């Protein structure tokens, strides 16, 4: 495979690569290069950190051996390609250096000043920054044209995406060379310009931060929100499990950078992030974060709910009532049933207020075929909520308890994310296919945002955003003008645009 590039008419080839910083990401990146047959020099600040880096490399490749994906001989070969050192001077003859140190601009700037001095003139310097300005980092060197972003995703050996970030001063052709190198590593590159958060983190972290805000607002529990997004949308991880994987410190820092650029209230880090980080609870890497290494607590209500008659209202009521009748519950009327289940994708308080026993009414929103959001109004009794939680289990779904708020949990998180993707496309920053591929390959999503929009229907999402805007008055929830126009024009898919 040709991965060579041109450098003033000369051929640039990437055979020896330096990786600076061997934390979770750096060690993963070193492994990726070594697996592809390149010689890797891994650099850490001190011997202890170096040993931790060696531990990451051994554990990650060891896991592959344990799973039978790698033989011990192959593992030894991969590890044999990695030289570990505490001296940056050992990078003097590297063709490429990828920086993966903490997200602090001053640290990065000072490192790049050193790398610029130490590395051979033809070397390319790359940063794995999650969101900091690549241009700002490049500007500290005497070779800004040879500085790019090469952004991997956690866990680096597994996630298929590499965002290749070029700046306004990046040498012509260099981003293509780095993209070709990413392909050689078995990754799919997406090339983008230098904006805070690039494609993935801008969309992903905004959504994760929103989940943290909703948790703080008491909309639903940590486990409820995680289950809703995993089982209801098919995401590989719920937002809090993913925040723990990424690291709460990194997530907090990304949010700060996004906020600095956008001044969008939704980018202001959720206070709970700052609190956990200050407490040293950084996620998986520190042994605790949103999860304390514990399994999601089961809120399983044991036994059959102690209600006999159930009234079911709303769209799909007949089918749901039939399932309950099969399970031995008597159909009832809204006025006198023990509980009233209102199938709805919008808040049910208005309906509750019209009933003689509003405390018995619970909203129910079926999400996909695995989840049901169980919405309690300010009038719902805990007994009614518990009963409906049990009924939901009886029909084979996972209940997610939540407050009776616009779009409940899943749609409240999903629609603003989709809206952000439309805005990103409309701003000209990235194309539809690139954004979709980035979210699928960078985060393991079952579909990209535009694929999700097509599946859900543009009008449904537009209307959901209007409801969110009406409730929270946050300008970011107002439907993107492009989305609104597509719906008004009767266009079914953004891909159908001429």
Active site residues: 130, 151, 163, 201
229 binds ligand 3HC (CB under 6 A): no
444 binds ligand 3HC (CB under 6 A): yes
**Cα(1)–Cα(425) distance, integer angstroms:** 33
Least Å distance, CB 148 to ligand 3HC, is 16
> Segment near ligand 3HC (CB under 6 A), from 322-330, 373-381, 397-405, 442-450?
442-450
Among 3, 60, 75, 346, binds ligand 3HC (CB under 6 A): 60
Query: Which residue lies nearer to ligand 3HC by CB, 37 or 446?
Result: 446
**Cα(25)–Cα(21) distance, integer angstroms:** 8
Q: Residue 416: CB partners within 8 Å, gap ≥ 6?
A: 206, 207, 210, 266, 465, 468, 476, 477
Among 310, 443, 480, 486, binds ligand 3HC (CB under 6 A): 443
> Segment near ligand 3HC (CB under 6 A), from 64-72, 132-140, 420-428, 484-492?
64-72
Q: 342 with 361: CB under 8 angstroms?
A: yes
> Segment near ligand 3HC (CB under 6 A), from 151-159, 383-391, 427-435, 451-459?
151-159
Cis (ω within 30 of 0) for the bond into 155? yes
154 binds ligand 3HC (CB under 6 A): yes
Question: CA 235 → CA 98, 221, 230, 239, distances in Å?
Answer: 29, 18, 5, 9
65 binds ligand 3HC (CB under 6 A): no
104 binds ligand 3HC (CB under 6 A): no
Cβ count near 8 (within 10 Å): 7
Least Å distance, CB 130 to ligand 3HC, is 3
Site for ligand 3HC in 350-369 (CB under 6 A): none
Least Å distance, CB 320 to ligand 3HC, is 32
Least Å distance, CB 123 to ligand 3HC, is 23
Among 155, 193, 234, 314, binds ligand 3HC (CB under 6 A): 155
158 binds ligand 3HC (CB under 6 A): yes
67 binds ligand 3HC (CB under 6 A): yes
69 binds ligand 3HC (CB under 6 A): yes
442 binds ligand 3HC (CB under 6 A): yes
> Segment near ligand 3HC (CB under 6 A), from 57-65, 85-93, 364-372, 421-429?
57-65
Query: Which residue lies nearer to ligand 3HC by CB, 63 or 300?
Result: 63
- Rounded to the nearest angstrom, the gap between the alpha carbon of residue 407 and the centroid of all alpha carbons in its chain is 20
Query: Which residue lies nearer to ligand 3HC by CB, 123 or 443?
Result: 443
**Cα(298)–Cα(447) distance, integer angstroms:** 29
Pair of tokens at residue 18: 């330096």
201 binds ligand 3HC (CB under 6 A): yes
Site for ligand 3HC in 236-255 (CB under 6 A): 236-237, 242, 246, 250
Least Å distance, CB 393 to ligand 3HC, is 24
Nearest CA to 232 out of 467, 476, 446 is that of 446
Strand 188-192 and strand 161-165: the pairing is: parallel
Cβ count near 54 (within 10 Å): 17
Query: Which residue lies nearer to ligand 3HC by CB, 269 or 442?
Result: 442
DSSP structure class, residue 286: G
Question: What's the angle, vertex CA 400, arms to CA 397 and CA 406, rounded to 5?
Answer: 120
For ligand 3HC, which residue has the nearest CB?
444
> Segment near ligand 3HC (CB under 6 A), from 13-21, 76-84, 153-161, 340-348?
153-161
> Segment near ligand 3HC (CB under 6 A), from 152-160, 308-316, 408-416, 418-426?
152-160
Pair of tokens at residue 134: 């690549």
30 binds ligand 3HC (CB under 6 A): no
Cα(first)–Cα(last) distance of the chain, in Å? 37
The DSSP code sequence of 118-131 is: HS-TT-EEEE--SS
Least Å distance, CB 452 to ligand 3HC, is 16
Q: Residue 439: CB partners within 8 Å, gap ≥ 6?
A: 199, 200, 203, 204, 421, 445, 448, 449
Question: CA 359 → CA 120, 321, 349, 425, 466, distances in Å?
Answer: 73, 20, 10, 45, 28
Pair of tokens at residue 259: 């906020």
The DSSP code sequence of 228-273 is: IIIIIH--SS-HHHHHHHH-HHHHHHHHHHHHHHH--GGGSPPHHH
Among 53, 157, 283, 305, binds ligand 3HC (CB under 6 A): 157
H helix runs in 81-125, sequence order: 105-118
Cis (ω within 30 of 0) for the bond into 204? no
Among 14, 33, 112, 153, binds ligand 3HC (CB under 6 A): 153
Among 130, 191, 385, 419, binds ligand 3HC (CB under 6 A): 130
Pair of tokens at residue 443: 């985060």
Residues found near ligand 3HC in the complex (CB under 6 A): 60, 63-64, 67, 69, 130, 153-155, 157-159, 201, 204, 236-237, 242, 246, 250, 442-444
């Amino acid at each position: 495979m040709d991965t060579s590039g041109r450098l003033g008419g000369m051929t640039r080839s990437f055979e020896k690569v330096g990786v600076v910083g061997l934390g979770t990401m750096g060690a993963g990146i070193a492994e990726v290069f070594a697996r592809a047959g390149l010689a890797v020099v891994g650099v850490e600040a001190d011997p202890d950190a170096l040993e931790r880096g060696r531990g990451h490399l051994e554990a990650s490749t060891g896991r592959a051996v344990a799973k039978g994906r790698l033989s011990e001989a192959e593992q030894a070969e991969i590890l044999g390609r990695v030289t570990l050192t505490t001296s940056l001077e050992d990078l003097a003859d590297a063709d490429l250096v990828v920086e993966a140190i903490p997200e602090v601009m001053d640290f990065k700037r000072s490192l790049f000043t050193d790398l610029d001095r130490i590395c051979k003139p033809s070397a390319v310097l790359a940063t794995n920054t999650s969101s900091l300005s690549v241009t700002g980092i490049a500007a500290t060197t005497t070779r800004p044209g040879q500085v790019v972003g090469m952004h991997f995703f956690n866990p680096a050996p597994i996630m298929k995406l590499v965002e290749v970030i070029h700046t306004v001063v990046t040498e012509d052709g260099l981003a293509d060379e780095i993209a070709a190198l990413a392909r050689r590593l078995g990754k799919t590159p997406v090339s983008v310009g230098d904006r805070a958060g690039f494609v993935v983190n801008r969309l992903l972290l905004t959504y994760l931060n929103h989940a943290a805000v909703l948790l703080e607002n008491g909309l639903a529990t940590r486990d409820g929100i995680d289950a809703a997004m995993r089982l209801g949308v098919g995401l590989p991880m719920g937002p809090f499990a993913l925040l723990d994987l990424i690291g709460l410190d990194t997530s907090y820092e990304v949010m700060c950078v996004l906020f600095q650029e956008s001044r969008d209230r939704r980018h202001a880090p959720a206070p709970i992030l700052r609190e956990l980080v200050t407490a040293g609870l950084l996620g998986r890497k520190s042994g605790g974060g949103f999860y304390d290494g514990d399994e999601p607590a089961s809120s399983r209500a044991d036994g059959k709910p102690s209600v006999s008659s159930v009234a079911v209202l709303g769209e799909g009521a007949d089918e749901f009532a039939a399932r309950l009748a099969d399970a031995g519950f008597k159909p009832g009327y809204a006025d006198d049933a023990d509980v009233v289940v209102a199938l709805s994708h919008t808040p049910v308080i208005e309906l509750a207020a019209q009933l003689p026993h509003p405390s018995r009414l619970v909203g129910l929103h079926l999400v996909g075929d695995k989840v049901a959001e169980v919405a309690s109004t300010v009038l719902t009794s805990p007994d009614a909520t518990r009963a409906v939680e049990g009924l939901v289990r009886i029909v084979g779904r996972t209940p997610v308890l939540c407050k009776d708020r616009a779009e409940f949990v899943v749609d409240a998180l999903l629609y603003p994310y989709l809206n952000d993707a439309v805005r990103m496309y409309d701003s000209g920053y990235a194309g539809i296919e690139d954004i979709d591929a980035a979210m699928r390959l960078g985060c393991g999503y079952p579909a990209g945002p535009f694929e999700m929009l097509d599946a859900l229907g543009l009008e449904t999402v537009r209307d959901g955003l209007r409801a969110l805007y009406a409730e929270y008055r946050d300008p970011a929830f107002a439907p993107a003008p492009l989305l609104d126009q597509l719906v008004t024009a009767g266009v079914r898919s953004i891909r159908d645009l001429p």
